[in-house]
Amino acid sequence: MAPRSTLIVIYTPALAACRAFYASLGLELRSERHGTGPEHYAAVLADGTVFELYPSSARRTTGALRLGFTADPGLTLDGTTLTPGRHLFHDPDGRTVEVHVPPS
pTM metric for this prediction = 0.88
Residues 51, 81 contacting (CB under 8 angstroms): no
pLDDT tens, residue by residue, 58-103: 788 888 899 999 988 888 888 888 999 999 999 999 999 999 999 9
User: Is residue 3 predicted with pLDDT exceeding 80?
Assistant: no
Beta-bridge partner residues of 87: 99
User: Is residue 1 predicted with pLDDT exceeding 90?
Assistant: no
Separation of alpha carbons 60 and 78, rounded Å? 28
Q: What pLDDT, on the 0 to 100 scale, is given for residue 79? A: 84
Q: Which domains does the chain have, with CATH numbers?
A: 7-101 (3.10.180.10)
Closest residue by Cα to residue 76 from 17, 27, 24: 24
